[in-house]
Structure 1
């Protein structure tokens, strides 16, 4: 399903969100704690490389983005099926009003039998997305409804 986003802002890095995400990552969680004020994605990633800390954030974001390929929804509204699916990680990243992101990564140990290292990746978002019965994005021509004082970035189709 091909979509265009009429007012999607480009996400900006936020150091306070990164600090809060790092605090969560430091506990090596297996699932989201469900903070009511921030959007949150948590993912445990495994690799055979013990020094892969810097690569884990990028690889995890690519994985979350690839989940859009799994999206079989016919609606732009967040429904229960999407909210409880793997795709919810991707929809949080692309939520129409999400403008800020911060992430943290922690090496959480190793499995000597499998010879892999576990990393926890946590990202926090503001504004929070994945709100049941709300639009994931606003449908329309790219950049057709950019907020005042923003411009359309032609390459990405995002409002900057």
Structure 2
């Protein structure tokens, strides 16, 4: 594991290098211009987000964002073992979070996302990492309630001595805010905050989604009295 220090958690996650895989796939099958790959990435995230423990009452359903994806592809092509500067992961004035992974062989996006999510074993809701050495930033960004736009990219980096495949996902709006880092979502009955705007345990309708994001940024919205403060 190569991971950023705790002070870098704001609107970013961590970088992970791995040589442990459950499946090796042809590189061409993970390129994110493919609609099937985009669907795999979105569906995997939503499957994990709807089954978090403890359950989430305000988890937003993710959707693909091509602008975020292009930024992620561009950064992967840089083959830099570090996070992108903030201006390279911004869309329509929204700063996006970032999860990174270097691999020695191409692996499926489902495996990549699962590896990020599996950091949950080192995380206790409301408390944070189980110890100071635990890496949890990938997990918290993956399940950050208000990060509902996702875009990812991968590149082959042939000059890497071991890790030659660079995976990048951008999450908008960015999560891992230190002020609420230990509570990446609100606990309760799934869709408890959006009972009339729910799709399979995820909040999905635009008016709820936009209001929830506005509240995080201390802005007013018509549903604020119903939702309460984050």
Which stretches of structure 1, 4 residues or longer, exceed 4 Å deviation after superposition? none
Could you tell me which residue of structure 2 aligns to residue 121 of structure 1? 167
Is residue 156 of structure 2 the alignment partner of residue 98 of structure 1? Answer: no
C-alpha distance in 1 between matches for 2:134 and 2:155? 25
Change (3 A) 1:39 1:27: same
Kindly tell me: are residues 23 and 111 of structure 1, through their superposed partners in 2, closer, same or farther at Cα, counting changes over 3 Å?
closer
Greater relative contact order (Cα < 8 A, sep 6+) = 1
Instruction: Quote the Cα distance in structure 2 between the aligned partners of 1:34 and 1:10.
Output: 27
**Residue segments in structure 1 that go unaligned for 5+ positions in a row:** none
Give the corresponding residue for 1:58. 110
Structure 1 contact 146–152 (Cα < 8 Å) conserved: no
Matches within 5 A, 1:12-27: 12-27=63-78
Q: CA deviation at 1:87?
A: 0.9
SS at match of 2:98: strand
Q: Which has the higher helix share?
A: 2
Alpha carbons 1:57, 1:105 under 8 Å: kept? no
Specify the alignment match of 1:68 in structure 2.
120
More divergent stretch after superposition (29-38 vs 58-67)? 29-38
Gaps of 5+ in 2: 1-51, 88-94, 205-230
Mapping of residues 111-150 of structure 1, within 5 Å:
118-134=164-180, 135-146=183-194, 150=197
Separation in structure 2 between the aligned mates of residue 56 and residue 29 of structure 1, nearest angstrom: 21
C-alpha distance in 1 between matches for 2:134 and 2:64: 26
Give the strand-richer structure, 1 or 2.
Answer: 1
